[in-house]
């Protein structure tokens, strides 16, 4: 599903405040179809950059990322956008919901740039995450836990092959954190999506069978 | 569905600035269309308004003043001419019809025009349109103290058949200058949409021999309205009266003389048009500023959309389309402003001249202007769209960790 080889990313001095700094150097990483794995990493370790590279939001300096058989690193930006829209789901720590859009619209936008909008599927998934009665609410009318569930629904509505989750429970308390994590893993399983989650929370990491330490994975000198 | 949704939600989120911007576009669009239509329609209507006459004979003076006085019932008469002048031109072989006109009195500000019944019975004020009175009315009889009110004058003065009134001396209403004669309204004209609608018509000797008028006025008139047998005859009479004679003025052709007036005041149109263009440019700039200023607040939303797979060109297109939609909203509202302004201007022109502009008349400017405004707004959207296009997704969404 996901294969990474010799991936490198550095930022120019303007962004690092000094000499060009290498943030990511991952010689190899792989994740099978439907597999769920977690990466342990502290703040500033480059794990978000790593996920951005996999998602095609950032272009790698060198190396190779293959998603569902497509070599993303050989694609132009527009093609990466299309691949992201079709095959990837992204769950952010801060949820990144569009505040001016309703719950249903936020989820519909998750498929708007990929295979096309299926309102029925969006409703169904929102029902699945327990928000069937909040379709026309706006994000600021929801609790933090409910917002997280919208983000989960948005990431999965397009039936992605791979879901990337960046500290998805970082803004939730312990009780909601556990519930949110269970929901993410469960829905990914149901939809057959592989899950790559990064977190520094041991409580979260303990729930994964496959956990990699990003410090070991990332050989960039920081 | 996505693009309309993105535009709709963005406009709703910035409802106030959307309204203000669309309002300024509406104003610009409405102003431009109004200025244009008033200019073209009034020029067209005024130059074609001759109330059925080809020329006017009057005292020596300005042709324009003569036409304005005798045809449009504006301005003072440049002077009087002798009744014998009327008799002479009436018999001229080139003249088909000659109708004498005497002015100098009013009723509550509406001009009294003395003439003969032939004006109503032999002249068509426009091709295939003869003067007619409303049911129950009649044209006045020569020698009688009877009046026929033009439709607009009757409406404004609430005159109806059987009403009586005293004329007032002069062309402007002065309560202290009432004549002792009493006139009875015997008819109200059907609307003609010409200056005749603003006039109260009475027999010519009524004006000539009104109490208080100088005795010499009994044999004088203000002008002669003339229908020619052929346009060529007009040039012969022009030669006769204007070149060879020095006592009278022959104003011909009426339309060309009014066109000269529009030529003289064309600077006014140009100033108005320039103002309207400036308003349009300012409105388009306000679209640019409004969307551009909102870009900082929308950076995150744009980055989220990009993270969901929206391409740069999609974001660019959405912002340009949003600007165009603001332009379209403004242009649509511009029609309301246009109709309101044109109705107001048309009423003013009708009240002042009797000439009626057609508020619902079509003209290419009515679709060119809104489309140009939308295009201008879309162009104004390009700058903020470029900013949106360049939004760095990774930086905007989260601090690098």
Same domain, B244 and B279: no
Q: How confident is the model at residue B400 (pLDDT cuts 50, 70, 90)?
A: very low
Under the banding of pLDDT at 50, 70 and 90, the label for residue B84 is very high
- Residue B400, classed as helix, strand or coil, is coil
Positions of E strands within A12-76? 21-31, 36-40, 62-67, 70-71
Same domain, B178 and B61: yes
The reported pLDDT for the residue numbered B97 is 94
Minimum distance, in Å, between the CA of residue B326 and any CA atom of chain A: 18
Answer for the pair B346, B357: CB distance below 8 angstroms, yes or no. Answer: yes
B10 near A CB under 8 A: yes
Q: Write down the ipTM of this complex.
A: 0.88
The mean pLDDT of chain A is 87
Q: Measured in Å, how far apart are chain A's first and last C-alpha atoms?
A: 29
Which residues does chain A have within 8 Å of residue B399's beta carbon, measured at their own beta carbons?
A: 48
Report chain A residues whose CB lies below 8 A from the CB of B310: 81, 85, 112-113
B108 and B233 part of one domain: yes
Assigned domain for B257 exists: no
Structure tokens at B61: 């003076």
Preceding omega of A76 cis (within 30 degrees of 0): no
> Does a structural domain hold residue B401?
no
Mean pLDDT, rounded, for A196-213: 90
* CA B37/CA A51 separation, integer angstroms: 61
Choose one of B225, B252, B279: the last residue of a domain: B252
Say if residue B366 is exposed, middle or buried (CB neighbours under 10 Å; 0-12, 13-18, 19+): middle
Q: Cβ of B309 and A43 within 8 Å? A: no
Instruction: Using pLDDT thresholds of 50, 70 and 90, give the confidence band for residue B263.
Output: confident
d(CA B250, CA B278) in angstroms, rounded, equals: 43
pLDDT value of position A37: 93
Length reported for chain A? 222
Write out the two tokens for B306: 């990009």
Q: What is the pLDDT of residue B58?
A: 93
Claim to verify: residue B112 and residue B226 sit in the same structural domain: yes
Q: For chain A, where are the alpha helices, taking DSSP H only?
A: 13-16, 47-55, 77-87, 103-112, 119-128, 144-156, 174-191, 202-205, 214-217
Which among B219, B182, B220 has a CA at the least distance from the CA of B202? Answer: B182
Q: Report how far residue B107's alpha carbon sits from residue B321's, in angstroms, rounded to the nearest whole number.
A: 59
pLDDT of residue B1: 66
Residue B233 lies in a domain: yes
Q: Is B309 in Cβ contact with A85 (below 8 Å)? A: yes
Nearest to A113 among B13, B301, B308 (CB): B308
Count of CB atoms situated within 10 Å of the CB of B210: 21
Q: Who's near B289: CB < 8 A, 6+ residues apart?
A: none
A157 in Cβ contact with A110 (< 8 Å) = yes
Alpha-carbon gap, residue B27 to B336, rounded angstroms: 10
Instruction: Tell me the nearest-neighbour CA distance from A87 into chain B, angstroms.
Output: 10
Residues B23 and B96 both lie in one domain: no
Helix B365-389 and helix B312-353: axis angle, to 10°? Answer: 150
User: Based on the domain organization, do B151 and B284 belong to the same domain?
Assistant: no
Residue with the larger pLDDT of the pair A195 and A158: A195
Question: A86: nearest CA in chain B?
Answer: B309
Task: Among B219, B252, B285, identify where a domain stops.
Answer: B252
What is the band of B374 on the pLDDT scale with cuts at 50, 70, 90? very high
Write the DSSP string, B141-193: -TTSSEEEE-HHHHHHHT--TT-EE--EESSS--GGGB-S--EEEEEEBPP-S
Using a CB–CB cutoff of 8 Å, tell me whether B108 touches chain A: no
Pairing label, strands B55-59, B81-82: unpaired
Check residue A114 and give its pLDDT: 81
At A87 the three-state DSSP class reads helix
Domain extent, residue B119, equals 55-252
Per-residue pLDDT at B163 exceeds 90: yes
Whole-angstrom distance, CA of residue A107 vs CA of residue A151: 8
Provide mean pLDDT across the span B22-46. Answer: 88
Cα distance from A132 to chain B (closest Cα, Å)?
Answer: 21
Find residues 293-332 of chain B whose CB sits inside 8 Å of chain A: 300-301, 304-314
Residue B153: which pLDDT band, with cuts at 50, 70 and 90? very high
d(CA B295, CA B279): 24
Residue A59 contacts B, CB cutoff 8 Å = no
Lowest mean pLDDT among A138-142, B163-167, B289-293: B289-293
User: Which of chain B's residues have a Cβ under 8 Å away from the Cβ of A113?
Assistant: 2, 305, 308-311, 314
Q: Give the model's pLDDT for residue B398.
A: 62
pLDDT at B401 over 50: no
From A94's Cα to the closest Cα of chain B, the distance in A is: 8
Instruction: Classify the C-alpha dihedral B306-B311-B313-B317 as positive or negative.
Output: negative
Q: What is the pLDDT of residues B200-245, one digit of tens each?
A: 999 999 888 888 777 777 889 999 999 999 888 888 899 888 888 7
The single residue listed with the structure tokens 């990483």 is A29
Six-digit token string for A22: 């290498």
CA separation for the pair B194, B230 (Å, rounded): 23
- CA dist., res. A203 & res. B107, Å (int): 98
**Domains, chain A, ordered by start:** 2-217 (3.40.50.300)
Q: Which residues of A touch B301 (CB under 8 A)?
A: 98-100
Residue B9 lies in a domain: yes
Q: What is the pLDDT of residues B294-305, one digit of tens each?
A: 777 788 888 899
* Same domain assignment for residues B141 and B171: yes
Give yes or no: residues B163 and B216 share one domain.
yes
Angle formed by the axes of helices A144-156 and A103-112, nearest 10°: 30
| Count of the separate structural domains present in chain B | 2
* A2-15: average pLDDT: 84
Which residue, chain included where needed, has tokens 């006459």? B53
CB contact under 8 A, A77 and B312: yes
- Tell me: do B244 and B295 sit in the same domain: no
Shared domain check, B168 and B70: yes
Domain boundary among B252, B274, B298: B252
Distances (CA, A) of B303 to A24, B116, B310, B395: 22, 82, 9, 9
- Does B85 reside within a domain? yes
Does residue B259 sit within a domain?
no
Q: What pLDDT, in 10s, does the model give residues A153-178?
A: 899 888 899 999 998 887 777 777 88
Asked whether residue B212 falls in the same domain as residue B68, the answer is yes
Q: What is the mean pLDDT of residues B41-45?
A: 85
| Mean pLDDT confidence for A49-60 | 91
- pLDDT, average across residues B154-169: 94
Residue B374, domain member (yes or no): yes
Q: What is the pLDDT of residue B176?
A: 87
| Domain presence at residue B28 | yes
B27 and B145 assigned to the same domain: no
């Amino acid at each position: 599903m996901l294969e990474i080889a010799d991936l490198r990313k550095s930022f120019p001095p303007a962004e690092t405040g000094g000499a060009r700094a290498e943030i990511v150097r991952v010689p190899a990483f792989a994740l099978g179809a439907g597999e769920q794995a977690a990466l342990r990493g502290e703040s500033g370790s480059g794990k978000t950059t790593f996920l951005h590279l996999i998602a095609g939001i950032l272009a790698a300096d060198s190396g190779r990322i293959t998603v569902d058989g497509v070599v993303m690193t050989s694609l132009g930006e527009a093609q990466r956008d299309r691949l992201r829209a079709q095959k990837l789901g992204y769950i952010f720590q801060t949820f990144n919901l569009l505040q001016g859009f309703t719950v249903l619209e936020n989820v519909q936008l998750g498929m708007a740039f990929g295979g096309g909008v299926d309102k029925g599927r969006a409703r169904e998934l929102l029902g699945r995450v327990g928000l069937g009665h909040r379709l026309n609410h706006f994000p600021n009318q929801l609790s933090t836990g409910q917002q997280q569930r919208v983000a989960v629904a948005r990431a999965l509505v397009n039936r992605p092959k791979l879901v990337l989750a960046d500290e998805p429970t970082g803004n939730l308390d312990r009780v909601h954190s556990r519930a949110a994590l269970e929901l993410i893993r469960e829905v990914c399983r149901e939809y057959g999506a592989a899950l790559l989650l990064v977190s520094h929370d041991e409580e979260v990491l303990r729930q994964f069978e496959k956990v990699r330490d990003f410090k070991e994975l990332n050989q960039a000198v920081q | 569905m996505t693009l309309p949704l993105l535009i709709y939600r963005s406009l709703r989120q910035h409802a106030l600035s959307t309204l203000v911007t669309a309002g300024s576009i509406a104003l610009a669009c409405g102003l431009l269309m109004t200025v244009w239509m008033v200019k073209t329609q009034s020029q067209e209507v005024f130059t074609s308004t001759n109330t059925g006459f080809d020329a006017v004979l009057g005292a020596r003076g300005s042709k324009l003043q003569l036409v304005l006085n005798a045809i449009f019932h504006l301005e003072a008469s440049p002077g009087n001419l002798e009744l014998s002048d009327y008799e002479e031109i009436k018999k001229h072989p080139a003249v088909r019809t000659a109708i004498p006109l005497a002015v100098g009195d009013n009723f509550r500000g509406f001009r009294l025009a003395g003439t003969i019944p032939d004006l109503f019975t032999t002249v068509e004020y426009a091709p295939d349109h003869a003067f007619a009175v409303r049911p129950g009315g009649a044209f006045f009889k020569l020698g009688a103290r009877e009046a026929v009110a033009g439709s607009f004058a009757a409406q404004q003065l609430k005159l109806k058949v059987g009403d009586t009134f005293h004329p007032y001396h002069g062309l402007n209403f002065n309560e202290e200058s009432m004549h002792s004669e009493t006139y009875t309204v015997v008819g109200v004209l059907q609307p003609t949409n010409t200056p005749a609608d603003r006039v109260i018509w009475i027999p010519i000797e009524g004006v000539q021999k009104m109490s208080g008028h100088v005795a010499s006025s009994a044999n004088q008139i203000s002008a002669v309205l003339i229908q020619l047998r052929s346009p060529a005859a007009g040039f012969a009479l022009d030669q006769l009266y204007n070149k060879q004679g020095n006592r009278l003025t022959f104003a011909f052709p009426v339309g060309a003389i009014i066109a000269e007036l529009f030529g003289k005041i064309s600077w006014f149109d140009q100033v108005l048009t320039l103002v309207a263009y400036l308003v349009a440019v300012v409105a388009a700039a306000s679209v640019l500023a409004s969307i551009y200023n909102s870009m900082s607040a929308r950076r995150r939303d744009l980055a989220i959309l990009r993270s969901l797979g929206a391409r740069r060109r999609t974001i660019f297109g959405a912002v340009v389309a949003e600007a165009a939609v603001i332009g379209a909203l403004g242009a649509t509202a511009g029609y309301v402003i246009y109709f309101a302004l044109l109705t107001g201007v048309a009423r003013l022109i009708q009240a002042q001249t009797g000439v009626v502009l057609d508020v619902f008349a079509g003209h290419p400017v009515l679709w060119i202007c809104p489309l140009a405004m939308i295009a201008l707004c879309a162009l104004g959207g390009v700058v903020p769209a470029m900013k949106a296009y360049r939004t760095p997704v990774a930086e905007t969404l989260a601090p690098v960790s």
